[in-house]
Each structure stands twice: as structure tokens, then as C-alpha cells.
Amino acid sequence: MRTLLIPVLCAVVIVALLPLIAGYIVLVERKVMAHMQARLGPMRVGPHGLLQPIADALKLMLKEDVIPTNADRLIFWFAPVASVAAALVAYSAMPIGPAFQIADLNVGLLFIVAVSSLGIYGVVLGGWASNSHYSLLGAMRSAAQLVSYEVAAGLALVSVLLLAGSLSMKEIVQAQLDQGVWFVFYVPFGFFIYLVASIAETNRAPFDLPEADSEIVAGYMTEYSGFRWALYFLAEYANVIVVAGVATTLFFGGWLRPLTRYHDHFPGTHVELLDVVPAFAMIALALYCFRLAPRQPLRVQKRVMAAAGVKCVLFAGILFAALFGSDAVREGVHGAFWFLAKVGAYIYCFMWFRFTFPRYRFDQLMRLSWQFLIPLGLVNVIGVAVAIVLRERWDWNPFFSLVPTTIVTLGFAAWLTADKLELSGTDEDIAAESAAVLPGSGE
Amino acid sequence: MMLAKLLFYFFALLAVGSAVLMVTRRNIVHAAVFLVTTLLATAGIFLQLEAEFLFVVQLLVYAGGIMVLFVFVIMLVNLDIEMRAVRFNKQWTVAGALAFVLAMQVLTALWVGRKTFHLPAAPAALAERNTETVADALFSHFVLAFEVASILLLVAMIGAVVMGKRRAE
Amino acid sequence: MIPVSHYLFLSLALFAVGVVGVLTRRNVIIMLMSIELILNAVNINLVAFSRLYGSVDGQVFAIFVIADAAAEAAVGLGIILAFFRNRKTIHADEMDLLKW
């Protein structure tokens, strides 16, 4: 029973906190979007919209639950639940810091990939059960997109597996600690492929064709409303956190601090210089909150802002106190901090891309995966395998053995894109080109 | 120990129950959902048998890949006529007899060999590093079969492309 | 400990259901799915015996069976799509062009 206690506690904490976290990611996304577009974003509910997610959640729960007349009721009910369940199960192998992991599976990485790939049933079945053309189109798009990009993502993950020599998430982080470098520096192209593929897998812009609002209303979610719609939304953001967590673990050293090898202590203590950074960052955030608090127009908003500041001080206190605890406590708390910070940075990149790139066309999306990312991934995997042989047989320096791999992959990428770049030229370019090739046709 | 038994019977019941539902459903999409359930329950049984790698392969390839393909094709050919068409053909008696004979054969075999069927505890090496052991076997002893399987998949891929291609008018 | 025979019973049940499905349903897609069910039943057997003999060979075979199932599904569904395109039906007993 004892062995089950901690995993069950972790599971309960994750399941309870995830809706809240997803809600706040949505808020951050709206704020980031607004500021990128020179607007303010949500400002009404709470100071700077801090309570907006809670208001939204309440609204969604109170909304009328509409089921279309000819919908397949059973599957209509089941699909969003399947989506959320698949997204949540994936967390069971995710190491949020060395101490906070539900189960360190022997095949953890494959498990996460496999389970999150099951989430597609929620999308496809939901789109089918709605008995609407837009929904079905969205579902079909989603199925095709996910299957295509899973291959590319898988190839990107293989390049890391070859370097780490294990499928267990914990051991992959440990391998990065032992080799002294984050794998993103070893296989930048693996990371690039995973980054693109993970955006496509989570149906986010610029690859959000399954829910492209200007083409097919809201795709598979068209007929959903109220709480079921909220479930889809939760699943989507849960999936974003999963891919961010996988990328963090595989390419950015998971819970490891940046500059892991740098050990300088404060004179007279065993506290490392760099370990204090998180606490100070939190204090800075708290000071910012306290500075903003008196400027809020309403008294309630002042209080909420001050409360947010107090919470930051509390976090800073925990981070600071953990420094003086035992090694396990220190690594657990600070590991969780760094992991979440890296996940946050990755999700911020997702938002950034969303507001920067225009949406792809569906044939472009398919071509990008099958004709560019997958061949690139194959070359990258072969290159990494060769580099590992060089390293183990002839004792090459691990970093320099991987440099040729990167250069070859870069060359291959350039070769792959060369003729497509010409194709995407302007009409004048194409006309001029055909005029050069076929005299007389340039009129 | 109790937990292992509970898990096994839970997954076994789930697998058989949804298999029966799959064969009898009129709606193809419902049938596909029940087949996915059976496959997931089977994955659970693999895990319970400490075949971790196979468990993940079952999830990833069977439930996450092959069945998605099935659902995709079902949506391409989904016919409303199907809901009103006759579900079964006229081979119930043949099928029942065949299944019965098969079941009897296997039951006889089980009865004859009932003494030899005690499941020992898994050897430590097999349970600890399942993925590595499977990989070792796959790339040493079975390497030829592995290559043949890869050629089979290549041929199947080409075949599927040829089949799916619209003939130029 | 659960005796191996229970795994075999489970596999037998799934296999029999699969056989009945292949032989009685008219819908080709469901017939294909029933074949997947049969292959799945075989996998349970293989893994149970792999555990019984403490050797990993059964699991390797199961992996080959899964690869085979993937190939079969790809080609089978391709044929069904091509057939549906030409005849607008997916019923096995209406696929009687060769009986003419």
C-alpha cells in the first residue's frame, strides 16, 4: 500500500490542478496575443484579467448542453471524455522533477507517445458523431494530420533515444546529466523536427486546420457546447503541456538546472550560487505585483493583485527554504521549478508561432510532413547512428562526432527545399522563368 | 497477487465483452470503438504478463495506428444504407459449427495438457529489462525475419498506394 | 498466480468470436476487423507462452504478428476503398463479379 500512496497523491494533484493550469495558459495566451497586437486583452475580471479563467469555467459549466438531433448520442457523449482521458494518462510517465513522477516506466517515452496518440479517437469520433459536415471534415483532417506528423515526431525522438540509450524518461534526463549537455545541442535538427511536428500534433496554428475557423467553422468541435466543449479545450491544452514536457525532458535536460556542471558555493555554506536564481526571480515577480497593486482602480482588484504578490513571496520562500533541506528535497523542489519554467518557455514559443505564421493549406501541410520532415528525420537518425559508432569505436569526441551529422542534415534540408522555394515564387518570377525556358511564351 | 488477479479478470471480461459487441453491432463506427476497447484490454493483459514493450507496441501500432486507419476508411465509405441493410449473411450454422469444433479442439488440448500450465514467476532479467531483451532477440536471432517483415511492410505500402490511387481517366 | 490455461481460454474466446465475425458478417470492414481480433487472440497466446517458458521469443513473434496485421490492414483497406469506388458497396456477398 505504501508504494501506491505517493503515485496516487501525485495523480490526484495533477488531475486537480490541470484544469486550473490550462485555464491560466489560456489567459496568458490571450494576454500575449493582445500585447502582440497592441491591445490590452482581458482586463475586467480581476486585475489584468487574473480571475478571467475562473469566470470562463463557471460560464461554461452553466451553459446549456446541446446535443444535435441526429447525433449519435453515445459516441457524442464518449468522445470528449476519451480525449481528456488520453491526455491525462500521458502524465503518468512524465517526470516533473526527480521526485514528482507517478511511475518511472521502463518504456516511458513510448508510453507517452502511444497514449497521446489515442487522443485522436476523441477528435475523430466526436466529429463523426456530431452528424455535421464541418465536424466530419475537421475529424478527417485531424486524423490525416496526426498520423502524418506522428511519424516525423517519432523519428525526431529516435535520434534522442540513440544518444540516451534508454526509453525511461528519468534515465534520459540522467544521460544528459552524465554527458554534461542538453541533447538540443547534439541534435538540433531532431529538436526542429519535433517542434514542428508537436505543433501539428496538438492542432495549433499555423497547423490548426482541423479547427480552422475561417474554413470549417470550428472543425470537430462545431456542434459541441458548454461542458463538453470545455473538455475538448482542456484536452487540447493538456496535450500542449504533454508535448512541451516531452520536448523539455528530451531536448532541454528535463528538471536539470542550466549550467549543471557549474558548482560554486556561497562562502561558508553548501548553497550553490545558481540555485538562488529561482527564489530571486520569484521575489522580483512579487515586487512587480506589489508595485501594480496600488494602481488598480477597484479595491477588490488591489486586493487580488496583492494576493498574487503574496503567493509569489510564498513560492520564493519555499524555493529558498528548500536550499537548506536535504538533497532530495532541494532537487525535488528546484527540479520541479526548472521543469515547469522550461515547459512554460516552450508553450510561449507555441503562442509566438501562433500569432506570427499564417495558416497552412492542407496539401502544403501534408507535403511538409511527408516530403520534408520525414526524409530529414531519416537522414538525421542515420547521421546520429554513425556518430555514435564513431564515438564508441574510435573514441571521437561526442560533440565533434555529431557536427558532421548536423551539417549533412542541413545540406539535405537545403536540397529538399531548393526546388520548392522556386515553386513558391511570385507569379512574375514563374512567368520570367518560363519565358527564359520557352522563348515566345513570355508574352 | 490479489491485484494481479483482479486486473487479469477485469481485462479479460472487458476484452471478450467488447469483442462480442463488436461482432454484433450494426453501426460500423460502434464496432470499431469496441474493437479498440478489446485491443486496449489486450494491451492491459500484456502489461499484466510483464511484456512492457509489447504493451506499448500494441497501444502505438494497433490502437493508435491500424485502428485509426480503419476509422478513417469507415468514414470515407460510411453509408446510411448500412443502418438498414441485413447485418448477417446466411452462414450462421456453418460459422457456429466451425467455432464450436475449434473450441472443442482447443479445450481437448487444454484438458490433456492441464498439468503443465502453471505460470512461474518471470525470470528477473526478462521482467527488468524487457525492451533490451526483446531488442536483443529481434536483432540477433530473428534478424532475417525482421528484414523479411520490413520488406513485407514495404510491399504492403506500395500495394496500398496502388490500390488507393485513382485511375487516370 | 493465474494459470496459463486462463490466458488460453481468453484467447480461445476472442478467437471464436473473431471466427464467427468473419464468417457471418456481410460488411467487409467488419470482417477485416474480426481478422484483427483473431490475430490479437494469437498474440495473447504467444505472450502467455513466452512468460511460461521464460523466453522472449514469443514476444518477438507477437511483434511480427502486429507488423503483419499492419500490412494486412493497409492492403485490405486499400482494396476495400478501390472496390467501394467502383461498385458503391462494401458487402461481401455483393462482390460477385467473378460468378458471372
| Position A443 pLDDT exceeds 50 | no
- Whether the CB-CB separation of A125 and A140 falls below 8 Å is answered with no
Does A297 sit behind a cis peptide bond, omega within 30 degrees of 0 on the bond before it?
no
Give the tens place of pLDDT for each residue, A251-274: 888 888 887 777 777 766 667 777
User: Tell me, what's the pLDDT at A194?
Assistant: 92
Average pLDDT of the residues of chain A? 81
Q: What separation, in Å, do the N-terminal and C-terminal C-alpha atoms of chain B show?
A: 64
Distance from CA of A271 to the nearest CA of B (A): 37
Instruction: Read off the pLDDT of each residue in B150-164 and give the average, rounded to a whole number.
Output: 88
The secondary element (H helix, E strand) that includes residue A17 is helix A2-36
Check CB contact of C95 with chain B, cutoff 8 Å.
no
Count chain A–chain B contacts defined by CB atoms under 8 A: 70
> Domain spans of chain C?
27-91
Q: Confidence class of residue A14 from pLDDT cuts 50, 70 and 90? A: confident
In a domain, residue B47? The reply is yes
Cell readout for B55 is 504493451
Q: Is the pLDDT of residue B112 over 80?
A: no
Decide if B57 and C20 are in contact by the 8 Å CB cutoff.
no
> Quick check: B142 contacting A, CB < 8 Å?
no
Over the stretch A343-368, which tens digit does the pLDDT of each residue have? Answer: 999 999 988 888 888 888 877 888 88
- Asked whether residue B95 is domain-assigned, the answer is no
Residues A225-241: what's their mean pLDDT?
A: 86
- The shortest CB-CB distance from C27 to any of B20, B28, B107 is to B28
Whether chain A has a CB inside 8 Å of the CB on B36: the answer is: yes
Q: How far is CA A334 from the centre of its chain?
A: 21
Q: What is the distance in angstroms between the Cα of B87 and the nearest Cα belonging to chain C?
A: 6
**Cβ of A128 and B75 within 8 Å?**
yes
A42-84 pLDDT, tens digit per residue, is: 877 777 778 888 888 888 888 887 777 877 788 888 888 988 9
Q: Which residues of B touch A139 (CB under 8 A)?
A: 75
Whether residue B59 lies within 8 A of chain A, CB to CB, comes out as yes
C27-91 architecture in CATH? Orthogonal Bundle (1.10)
Residues B6 and B78 in one domain: yes
Whether A396 shows a pLDDT value over 80: the answer reads no
Q: Per the CB < 8 Å rule, is B160 touching C32?
A: no
Domain count, chain B: 2
- Which of B62, B70, B103 lies closest to C29 in CB terms? B70
Cross-chain residue pair B60–A136, CB shorter than 8 Å:
no
Query: Which band of pLDDT confidence, cut at 50, 70 and 90, is reported for residue B155?
Result: very high
| Cα three-residue angle A27-A316-A57, rounded to 5 degrees | 25
Report residue A150's pLDDT band, with 50, 70 and 90 as the boundaries: confident
Give the whole-angstrom CA distance, residue C59 versus residue A107: 15
Asked, for residue B51, whether it belongs to a domain, the answer is yes
| Predicted local confidence at residue B167, as pLDDT | 64
Rounded to the nearest angstrom, the minimum Cα separation between C35 and chain B is: 11
- Please indicate whether residue A236 or residue C98 has the higher confidence score (pLDDT): A236
Whether B25 contacts chain A with CB within 8 A:
no
B81/A259: higher pLDDT: A259
| Rounded CA separation A344/A28 (Å) | 10
What is the CA angle A372-A373-A377, rounded to 5? 120
Sort out which chain C residues have CB atoms less than 8 A from B163's CB and list them.
75, 78-79, 81-82
**Alpha-carbon span A359 to A208, nearest angstrom:** 7
On whether any CB of chain A is under 8 Å from the CB of B126, the answer is no
- A75, A115, A143 ranked by CB distance to B33: nearest: A75
pLDDT at residue B85, rounded to an integer? 64
> Do B11 and B69 have their domain in common?
yes
**Within this chain, do residues B3 and B60 fall inside the same structural domain, yes or no?**
yes
Q: Which of B25, B36, B69, B70 to mutate to test the interface with C (most CBs of C within 10 A)?
A: B70
Q: Would you call C25 and B123 a contact, using CB atoms and an 8 Å cutoff?
A: no
pLDDT at C46 over 80: yes
A319 touches A282 (CB < 8 A):
yes
The 10 Å CB-count burial string (b at 16+, else e) for C59-73 is: bbbbbbbbbebbbbb
The partner residue sitting opposite B16, judged by closest CB among C14, C34, C84, is C14
**Window from A10-19, A139-148, B120-129, C58-67 with minimum mean pLDDT:** B120-129
Among B62, B70, B152, the residue with its CB nearest the CB of C66 is B62
CA distance A106 to A23: 32
Average pLDDT of the segment spanning A272-294: 81
Q: Is the residue at B76 inside a domain?
A: yes
Q: Does B111 touch chain C (CB under 8 A)?
A: no
Got the DSSP string for C9-59?
Answer: HHHHHHHHHHHHHHHHB-BHHHHHHHHHHHHHHHHHHHHHHHHHTT-SHHH
pLDDT tens figures, B20-67: 888 888 788 888 889 999 999 999 888 888 888 888 888 888 888 888
Contacts of A75 in chain B (CB under 8 A): 29-30, 33
Q: Is residue B111 part of a domain?
A: no
Question: pLDDT tens across C3-25, in order?
Answer: 777 888 888 888 888 888 888 88
Section B114-127 average pLDDT? 60
Domain boundary among the residues B53, B84, B115 is at B84
Domain range for residue B161? 124-169
Q: Do C93 and B134 touch (CB under 8 A)?
A: no
pLDDT band at residue B154, thresholds of 50, 70 and 90? very high
Q: Is residue B117 part of a domain?
A: no
Report the pLDDT value the prediction gives residue A55, as an integer from 0 to 100. 87
List, as one string, the DSSP characters of A124-173: HHHHHHTT-HHHHHHHHHHHHHHHHHHHHHHHHHHHHHHHH----HHHHH
Q: Is the ipTM of this complex over 0.90?
A: no
Q: Mind telling me how many Å the CA of C99 is from chain B's nearest CA?
A: 17
> Whose CA is closest to A167, among A250, A101, A241?
A250
The answer to whether residue C29 scores a pLDDT higher than 50 is yes
Do B131 and B76 share a structural domain? Answer: no
pLDDT of residue A44: 78
- What is the mean predicted confidence (pLDDT) over C70-90? 84
